[in-house]
Structure 1
Amino acid sequence: MTRAGGLARRASAVEAARRDAPALLVDAGDALFHAAALGDADTGAAAARARLVLSAMGRMGYAALAVGERDLALGPGWLAREAAAAGVPVLSLNLAAPDGTRPFRGTRIVEVGDERVGLLAVAAAGEYPGGLVASDPLAAARDAAEALRASGATVVLALAHLPEAEARALLRGAPGIDAAVLAHDARPLDAAPVGATLVAAAGERGRALGILTLWPATRGAWADAGAPRKAEAELASIRRSLDLARRRHERVTTEEDRRALRELIANQERRAKEAEARTQVRPSGRLYDSRLLPLTAEVGDDAPLLEEQRAVLDRYGPPPVPPDPDTDVK
């Protein structure tokens, strides 16, 4: 079985997405290394793989990479130097050296279509590789969002490298942020509002491309423009289950099994009616749509990048695999 993911497929998916509408490409961190601390024997191979990732991100036109602890495995100087060489803006508002100097920018404003998107990035408070320390991310994010608005940003997007619970608390305390992309816990999150902020996460390992579409001209509370489409998919799934349950009901021989299946069928019929009703509701408010695009073989590969990817992996091998939050048991 071929795994989903890979830089070449990501590049192909990004190119296709940009044909549909103006796009902003970002990463909320932990993109470069498999661990925050590397063994001496791993350093050369890990650096080569990370340079390939940065080079690919630069060519894809990433607008920002937030700094996570794993991105600092070779130190902040290495990251700043290599990212600059690749043309990848690296952001972190609240990471600082012991002397108070900040190795990375905290914000930037990017033109996307008719919008001026203000980007900010924060990391969870605490100690980081390379002697860096992250201060309170809430105060940094709140002040930065206000400053971005004052500088003309029409949309403010946060890259929050925080555990999900901490990120949600931060966003409730920083109402000037329109949307946030999370990383740290490695789990994908369907886009949904947290207070006034729309929150999403694509998960890690590059298995999928998270696509979040906004309609900046719309106003009001966040509303999922894709809700009718999702209700139609849910309805189709329920109808398949109903068909299976009805056929099973015809074959079972005990009253106990028939009773259980009748209850299941009644429940599924109720769910089908609810889903069908939702297909007719047209969302109103501040509209968004989101989806996770699995980077499977059907996406296709960027041929030149695929060759580079193969060359690096043939020489250095794949990186060790970090724990999978969906399958690994602690």
Structure 2
Amino acid sequence: MRRSTPMVALVCLLFSLAARAEEKKLTVLVTGDNRGELSHCGCSHLPAGGLARRKTVVDHARATGPVLLLDAGNALFKEPASDEASKEKARFILETMGELQTAAMAVGPRDLSAGPEFLKSTARKANVKVLSANLTRNGKKVFEPSTVLTQGALRIGVVGVGPELASLASQPGVVGTPPIPAAIAEARKLAGKVDLVIVLAALPLEEVLQLSKEAGDSVDLIFHSGDSKRPTVARRDYSSFLIASGHRGQMVVSVALDLSGEGPLMDGAELARAEQTLALLEQQLAEARQRNFQESLKGLEEREAQVRATLEGLRGREGRTLALSTLPLGPGVADDAALKARVEKLEPPGGVAHDQP
């Protein structure tokens, strides 16, 4: 029996290492630019979106593994002004976000239509954490600028930021300070304390690109709302990946993370794309040589050398990885029946709000 002790210890160690590796995996789901929508759009072609379909997708994801649900802002109102009907819908959206366990949301302009106090009190009742690093009243932050969320063995830092605002209607003293320095300052406070830093940015793409450029390696992922029709891709011009969060609640963005490795975050599909690009270039080069297209050859050869250099850097590289997918909330996604019934009490089918494109 004593001779088996080292073997037992080795087996236990292997199981422990495997468990720790598994704990470093997480799926981040992100919504954004919902713009006060409760049900699917009234588009004549493939109507999409709606809270009842969102619940179906989120529940399915949670059944397959650990999930962190976030919102990139601009969730609550269709218009800059609000009335009692739109406030009632905003309350319902936040209540539903809380029921779906949305861990944090950024503050966008379409979340402030009824003022920051309405947002703060309604979100508190719904148990949704609202983040803004740059919205202030008389020099003091209105909301928490960032938070640290624990998922198993992982600690995820999340910063929220919205646009610069000179003033807010009927809200004396409330301004949005420049968002980029505010977001970077918060991200740097999280350095060394978390496994990943995410910024939820209710900003247009141009500002998000500038944020990524100036933040350097202090930010890993930026999910943004504000340019709602931008394609949802894992774009990386600088150190951070930029990912758009969709349009009018018509999709859920899913990012599967494996943080078992070290170093900068990498797109798991990057290697496959580079290999496909190289194969295409080799085919084009062969055709150019066969037809003696000298003018094309130089450019193709330079591009081939660049792609080969990229591949050499990618192959055998180990690190933290992400895999992006989009989950469209189209007709193929079933509505959660109970939530759909609640939505239809506020927006009866056939009504103007329900059917607006």
Same-fold call, TM > 0.5? yes
CA RMSD of aligned residues (A): 2.7
Residue 247 of structure 1 is matched in structure 2 by: none
Residue 80 of structure 1 is matched in structure 2 by: 120
Residue 209 of structure 1 is matched in structure 2 by: 252
1:67-106 matches, cutoff 5 A: 67-97=107-137, 99-106=138-145
- For the 8 Å contact 1:188–1:202, the answer to whether it is kept is no
- Partner amino acid for 2:322? Y
Which one of the candidate residues 309, 315, 330 is aligned to 1:296?
Answer: 330
Residue 210 of structure 2 is matched in structure 1 by: 169
- Partner amino acid for 2:180? L
Residue 77 of structure 2 is matched in structure 1 by: 33
| Residue 4 of structure 1 pairs with residue 68 of structure 2 | no
| Residue 191 of structure 1 pairs with residue 234 of structure 2 | yes
| Residue 113 of structure 1 pairs with residue 157 of structure 2 | no
| Residue 23 of structure 1 pairs with residue 67 of structure 2 | yes
- Partner amino acid for 1:8? A
Which one of the candidate residues 148, 167, 188 is aligned to 1:146?
Answer: 188
- Partner amino acid for 2:202? H
- For the 8 Å contact 1:223–1:283, the answer to whether it is kept is no
| Structure 2 gap ranges (5+) | 1-44, 281-306
- For the 8 Å contact 2:231–2:244, the answer to whether it is kept is yes
- For the 8 Å contact 1:34–1:320, the answer to whether it is kept is no
Question: How far apart, in 2, do the equivalents of 1:321 and 1:194 lie?
Answer: 36
Question: How far apart, in 1, do the equivalents of 2:65 and 2:276 lie?
Answer: 24
Q: Structure 1 residues 321 and 144 mapped into 2: Cα distance closer, same or farther (>3 Å)?
A: farther
Between 298-307 and 311-320, report the one with greater CA deviation: 311-320
Q: Structure 1 residues 295 and 320 mapped into 2: Cα distance closer, same or farther (>3 Å)?
A: closer
- For the 8 Å contact 1:51–1:82, the answer to whether it is kept is yes
- For the 8 Å contact 2:220–2:265, the answer to whether it is kept is no
Q: Which secondary structure does the structure 2 equivalent of 1:129 belong to?
A: coil
Report the CA distance between 1:46 and its aligned residue: 0.7
Question: Residues 33-66 of structure 1, C-alpha deviation per residue, up to 9 Å, x if partnerless?
Answer: 012224xxxx121112111111110000001111
Q: Structure 1 residues 317 and 114 mapped into 2: Cα distance closer, same or farther (>3 Å)?
A: farther
- Partner amino acid for 1:109? V
Question: How far apart, in 2, do the equivalents of 1:283 and 1:193 lie?
Answer: 21
Report the CA distance between 1:104 and its aligned residue: 1.0
Q: Structure 1 residues 231 and 134 mapped into 2: Cα distance closer, same or farther (>3 Å)?
A: same
- For the 8 Å contact 2:107–2:162, the answer to whether it is kept is yes
Report the CA distance between 1:184 and its aligned residue: 0.8
Residue 256 of structure 1 is matched in structure 2 by: none
- Partner amino acid for 1:58? G
Question: Residues 242-286 of structure 1, C-alpha deviation per residue, up to 9 Å, x if partnerless?
Answer: xxxxxxxxxxxxxxxxxxxxxxxxxxxxxxxx9xxx9xx978443
- Partner amino acid for 1:33? F
Which one of the candidate residues 137, 150, 165 is aligned to 1:126?
Answer: 165
Question: How far apart, in 1, do the equivalents of 2:66 and 2:76 lie?
Answer: 26
Report the CA distance between 1:25 and its aligned residue: 0.9
Question: How far apart, in 1, do the equivalents of 2:62 and 2:107 lie?
Answer: 25
Between 73-82 and 211-220, report the one with greater CA deviation: 211-220
1:307-318 matches, cutoff 5 A: 307-314=341-348, 318=353
Q: Structure 1 residues 230 and 59 mapped into 2: Cα distance closer, same or farther (>3 Å)?
A: farther
- For the 8 Å contact 1:34–1:321, the answer to whether it is kept is no
| Structure 1 gap ranges (5+) | 239-273, 323-330
TM-score for both structures, normalised by structure 2 = 0.70
Report the CA distance between 1:189 and its aligned residue: 2.6
TM-score for both structures, normalised by structure 1 = 0.75
Question: How far apart, in 2, do the equivalents of 1:27 and 1:194 lie?
Answer: 23
Report the CA distance between 1:219 and its aligned residue: 3.2
Report the CA distance between 1:217 and its aligned residue: 1.7
Question: How far apart, in 2, do the equivalents of 1:11 and 1:232 lie?
Answer: 37
1:200-279 matches, cutoff 5 A: 200-227=243-270
- Partner amino acid for 1:28? A
Q: Structure 1 residues 214 and 223 mapped into 2: Cα distance closer, same or farther (>3 Å)?
A: same
Q: Which secondary structure does the structure 2 equivalent of 1:14 belong to?
A: helix
